[in-house]
Amino acid sequence: MFKCDKCNAELEPNAKFCTTCGEKVSLKIIENMESEKPVSKVKVWIFKSIAFFIALIVFTIARLIFTAINGGTADGKLAMGGILLFYGVYALLSGIFLKDKEARKRGGWVLLIYVVASIAFSYFLNNSSFGIDEQIRNTINSTPIKIDKDTELSKVSMNGNNVTFKYKLLNIAKDDISYADLQTFKQTIKTELCKDKEFLKMMKHDKIISTYYYGKYNGLISNITISNRECR
Protein backbone atom coordinates (compact mmCIF):
# COMPACT_ATOMS: atom_id res chain seq x y z
CA MET A 1 0.00 0.00 0.00
CA PHE A 2 1.39 3.38 -1.03
CA LYS A 3 0.59 6.78 0.38
CA CYS A 4 0.74 10.29 -1.02
CA ASP A 5 3.82 12.26 0.08
CA LYS A 6 1.78 15.41 0.65
CA CYS A 7 -1.59 14.43 2.14
CA ASN A 8 -0.87 10.86 3.19
CA ALA A 9 -3.98 9.57 1.40
CA GLU A 10 -3.84 6.06 0.05
CA LEU A 11 -2.81 5.96 -3.62
CA GLU A 12 -4.56 3.85 -6.22
CA PRO A 13 -2.54 1.16 -7.91
CA ASN A 14 -0.32 2.66 -10.66
CA ALA A 15 -1.60 6.19 -9.95
CA LYS A 16 0.46 9.05 -11.42
CA PHE A 17 -1.37 11.69 -9.38
CA CYS A 18 -2.97 11.64 -5.97
CA THR A 19 -6.77 11.49 -6.36
CA THR A 20 -7.24 13.37 -3.05
CA CYS A 21 -4.92 16.38 -3.35
CA GLY A 22 -3.73 16.18 -6.94
CA GLU A 23 -0.03 15.97 -6.01
CA LYS A 24 2.22 14.23 -8.54
CA VAL A 25 3.27 10.81 -7.27
CA SER A 26 7.05 10.75 -6.76
CA LEU A 27 9.26 8.69 -9.08
CA LYS A 28 10.44 6.59 -6.18
CA ILE A 29 6.90 5.53 -5.28
CA ILE A 30 6.12 4.78 -8.96
CA GLU A 31 9.19 2.53 -9.13
CA ASN A 32 8.16 0.73 -5.96
CA MET A 33 4.62 0.30 -7.29
CA GLU A 34 5.96 -1.24 -10.46
CA SER A 35 8.17 -3.66 -8.62
CA GLU A 36 5.14 -4.77 -6.58
CA LYS A 37 2.92 -5.29 -9.60
CA PRO A 38 1.39 -8.75 -9.46
CA VAL A 39 2.99 -11.03 -12.04
CA SER A 40 0.76 -13.14 -14.27
CA LYS A 41 0.41 -16.83 -13.47
CA VAL A 42 2.05 -17.87 -16.74
CA LYS A 43 5.03 -15.62 -16.01
CA VAL A 44 5.32 -17.08 -12.48
CA TRP A 45 5.25 -20.58 -13.94
CA ILE A 46 7.89 -19.77 -16.59
CA PHE A 47 10.23 -18.05 -14.11
CA LYS A 48 9.86 -20.86 -11.58
CA SER A 49 10.60 -23.43 -14.29
CA ILE A 50 13.74 -21.53 -15.34
CA ALA A 51 14.84 -21.30 -11.69
CA PHE A 52 14.13 -25.03 -11.30
CA PHE A 53 16.26 -26.00 -14.30
CA ILE A 54 19.16 -23.74 -13.36
CA ALA A 55 19.05 -25.22 -9.83
CA LEU A 56 19.04 -28.70 -11.37
CA ILE A 57 22.11 -27.85 -13.47
CA VAL A 58 23.95 -26.38 -10.45
CA PHE A 59 23.02 -29.48 -8.41
CA THR A 60 24.30 -31.80 -11.17
CA ILE A 61 27.59 -29.92 -11.60
CA ALA A 62 28.16 -29.87 -7.82
CA ARG A 63 27.49 -33.60 -7.70
CA LEU A 64 29.98 -34.28 -10.53
CA ILE A 65 32.62 -32.20 -8.74
CA PHE A 66 32.02 -34.01 -5.43
CA THR A 67 32.13 -37.35 -7.21
CA ALA A 68 35.46 -36.48 -8.79
CA ILE A 69 36.90 -35.27 -5.47
CA ASN A 70 35.68 -38.34 -3.60
CA GLY A 71 37.15 -40.89 -5.96
CA GLY A 72 34.28 -42.06 -8.09
CA THR A 73 31.19 -42.19 -5.91
CA ALA A 74 28.75 -39.65 -4.58
CA ASP A 75 27.05 -41.17 -1.57
CA GLY A 76 24.00 -40.32 0.50
CA LYS A 77 25.77 -37.79 2.70
CA LEU A 78 26.54 -35.69 -0.35
CA ALA A 79 23.01 -36.05 -1.72
CA MET A 80 21.66 -34.44 1.48
CA GLY A 81 23.85 -31.39 0.87
CA GLY A 82 22.81 -31.38 -2.77
CA ILE A 83 19.16 -30.99 -1.79
CA LEU A 84 20.03 -27.88 0.26
CA LEU A 85 22.02 -26.49 -2.67
CA PHE A 86 19.19 -27.21 -5.09
CA TYR A 87 16.53 -25.61 -2.94
CA GLY A 88 18.72 -22.60 -2.11
CA VAL A 89 19.45 -21.84 -5.78
CA TYR A 90 15.81 -22.41 -6.73
CA ALA A 91 14.44 -20.10 -4.01
CA LEU A 92 17.08 -17.42 -4.63
CA LEU A 93 16.51 -17.35 -8.40
CA SER A 94 12.70 -17.44 -8.10
CA GLY A 95 13.03 -14.56 -5.64
CA ILE A 96 15.16 -12.56 -8.06
CA PHE A 97 13.04 -13.30 -11.14
CA LEU A 98 9.70 -12.65 -9.39
CA LYS A 99 11.01 -9.78 -7.22
CA ASP A 100 10.00 -11.74 -4.13
CA LYS A 101 12.09 -10.49 -1.25
CA GLU A 102 11.06 -13.33 1.08
CA ALA A 103 12.07 -16.06 -1.39
CA ARG A 104 15.36 -14.28 -2.07
CA LYS A 105 16.09 -14.11 1.64
CA ARG A 106 15.12 -17.75 2.17
CA GLY A 107 17.32 -18.88 -0.76
CA GLY A 108 20.22 -16.81 0.53
CA TRP A 109 19.97 -18.32 3.99
CA VAL A 110 19.70 -21.88 2.70
CA LEU A 111 22.77 -21.34 0.47
CA LEU A 112 24.69 -19.83 3.37
CA ILE A 113 23.79 -22.85 5.53
CA TYR A 114 24.84 -25.12 2.64
CA VAL A 115 28.26 -23.44 2.28
CA VAL A 116 28.96 -23.40 6.04
CA ALA A 117 27.77 -27.01 6.44
CA SER A 118 29.85 -28.16 3.44
CA ILE A 119 33.01 -26.54 4.79
CA ALA A 120 32.39 -27.96 8.27
CA PHE A 121 31.60 -31.38 6.84
CA SER A 122 34.67 -31.60 4.60
CA TYR A 123 36.84 -30.34 7.48
CA PHE A 124 35.31 -33.05 9.66
CA LEU A 125 35.83 -35.71 6.97
CA ASN A 126 39.46 -34.73 6.48
CA ASN A 127 40.26 -34.70 10.14
CA SER A 128 38.39 -37.64 11.50
CA SER A 129 38.52 -41.24 10.45
CA PHE A 130 34.74 -41.20 9.93
CA GLY A 131 33.98 -42.78 6.58
CA ILE A 132 37.67 -43.20 5.75
CA ASP A 133 37.35 -46.92 5.02
CA GLU A 134 34.56 -46.17 2.59
CA GLN A 135 36.71 -43.49 0.93
CA ILE A 136 39.62 -45.91 0.62
CA ARG A 137 37.36 -48.54 -0.92
CA ASN A 138 36.12 -45.92 -3.39
CA THR A 139 39.71 -45.02 -4.22
CA ILE A 140 40.60 -48.65 -4.68
CA ASN A 141 37.58 -49.31 -6.88
CA SER A 142 38.38 -46.35 -9.09
CA THR A 143 42.06 -47.27 -9.46
CA PRO A 144 42.76 -48.53 -12.99
CA ILE A 145 44.10 -52.08 -13.36
CA LYS A 146 46.77 -50.88 -15.77
CA ILE A 147 48.88 -48.43 -13.76
CA ASP A 148 51.09 -47.81 -16.79
CA LYS A 149 52.00 -49.93 -19.79
CA ASP A 150 54.46 -52.05 -17.76
CA THR A 151 52.60 -52.24 -14.45
CA GLU A 152 49.35 -53.95 -13.57
CA LEU A 153 47.44 -53.86 -10.30
CA SER A 154 46.62 -57.49 -9.53
CA LYS A 155 45.20 -57.43 -6.01
CA VAL A 156 44.11 -54.93 -3.38
CA SER A 157 42.96 -55.79 0.10
CA MET A 158 42.10 -54.00 3.27
CA ASN A 159 42.39 -55.61 6.66
CA GLY A 160 41.93 -53.31 9.63
CA ASN A 161 44.53 -50.58 9.26
CA ASN A 162 46.52 -52.49 6.68
CA VAL A 163 45.96 -51.72 3.02
CA THR A 164 47.81 -53.97 0.61
CA PHE A 165 48.45 -53.42 -3.09
CA LYS A 166 49.91 -56.12 -5.28
CA TYR A 167 51.42 -55.08 -8.59
CA LYS A 168 52.77 -57.08 -11.46
CA LEU A 169 55.67 -55.70 -13.47
CA LEU A 170 55.02 -57.07 -16.93
CA ASN A 171 58.47 -56.61 -18.43
CA ILE A 172 60.82 -57.37 -15.56
CA ALA A 173 61.65 -60.79 -14.14
CA LYS A 174 62.88 -61.25 -10.59
CA ASP A 175 66.38 -62.23 -11.76
CA ASP A 176 66.72 -59.25 -14.11
CA ILE A 177 67.24 -56.84 -11.28
CA SER A 178 70.46 -56.37 -9.29
CA TYR A 179 70.63 -55.69 -5.56
CA ALA A 180 71.69 -52.07 -6.13
CA ASP A 181 68.88 -51.54 -8.63
CA LEU A 182 66.43 -53.01 -6.14
CA GLN A 183 67.48 -50.50 -3.49
CA THR A 184 67.02 -47.64 -5.98
CA PHE A 185 63.65 -49.10 -7.00
CA LYS A 186 62.49 -49.28 -3.37
CA GLN A 187 63.58 -45.73 -2.69
CA THR A 188 61.84 -44.46 -5.84
CA ILE A 189 58.58 -46.22 -4.94
CA LYS A 190 58.70 -44.84 -1.41
CA THR A 191 59.27 -41.30 -2.67
CA GLU A 192 56.42 -41.65 -5.16
CA LEU A 193 53.99 -43.04 -2.57
CA CYS A 194 54.85 -40.21 -0.19
CA LYS A 195 53.91 -37.75 -2.95
CA ASP A 196 50.67 -39.48 -3.93
CA LYS A 197 47.66 -37.61 -2.52
CA GLU A 198 45.47 -40.69 -2.20
CA PHE A 199 48.13 -42.66 -0.33
CA LEU A 200 48.89 -39.66 1.88
CA LYS A 201 45.21 -39.39 2.77
CA MET A 202 45.18 -43.05 3.83
CA MET A 203 48.36 -42.71 5.85
CA LYS A 204 47.05 -39.59 7.56
CA HIS A 205 44.42 -41.87 9.08
CA ASP A 206 47.10 -44.26 10.34
CA LYS A 207 46.62 -46.76 7.57
CA ILE A 208 49.70 -48.81 6.85
CA ILE A 209 50.28 -49.21 3.13
CA SER A 210 52.06 -52.27 1.81
CA THR A 211 52.94 -52.66 -1.83
CA TYR A 212 54.17 -55.89 -3.35
CA TYR A 213 55.85 -56.00 -6.74
CA TYR A 214 55.88 -59.24 -8.67
CA GLY A 215 57.88 -59.90 -11.82
CA LYS A 216 56.63 -61.25 -15.11
CA TYR A 217 57.04 -64.88 -13.92
CA ASN A 218 55.29 -64.05 -10.63
CA GLY A 219 58.47 -63.99 -8.53
CA LEU A 220 58.35 -61.42 -5.73
CA ILE A 221 60.75 -58.61 -6.67
CA SER A 222 60.19 -56.31 -3.73
CA ASN A 223 57.75 -55.29 -1.05
CA ILE A 224 57.56 -51.99 0.74
CA THR A 225 55.53 -51.07 3.79
CA ILE A 226 55.15 -47.45 4.71
CA SER A 227 53.19 -45.51 7.27
CA ASN A 228 52.64 -41.87 8.08
CA ARG A 229 55.95 -41.46 9.95
CA GLU A 230 58.15 -42.41 7.01
CA CYS A 231 56.74 -39.77 4.71
CA ARG A 232 57.73 -36.77 6.80
Residues near Zn ion, by CB under 5 A = 4, 6-7, 9, 18, 20-21, 23
Contact between 156 and 140 (Cβ < 8 Å): yes
Nearest-approach distance from CB 52 to Zn ion, in angstroms? 43
Nearest-approach distance from CB 34 to Zn ion, in angstroms? 20
**Residue 18 vs 89, nearer CB to Zn ion:** 18
**Residue 17 vs 45, nearer CB to Zn ion:** 17
The whole-angstrom separation of Cα 21 and Cα 216 is 100
**Residue 13 vs 219, nearer CB to Zn ion:** 13
Nearest-approach distance from CB 36 to Zn ion, in angstroms? 19
Helix 76-97 × helix 41-69 angle, to 10°: 150
**Residue 19 vs 162, nearer CB to Zn ion:** 19
Q: Alpha carbon of 55 to those of 42, 118, 160: distances in Å?
A: 20, 17, 41
- Residues 6 or more apart whose Cβ sits within 8 Å of residue 102: 95
Contact between 196 and 160 (Cβ < 8 Å): no
Q: How many CB atoms lie within 10 A of CB 171?
A: 10
Nearest-approach distance from CB 38 to Zn ion, in angstroms? 24
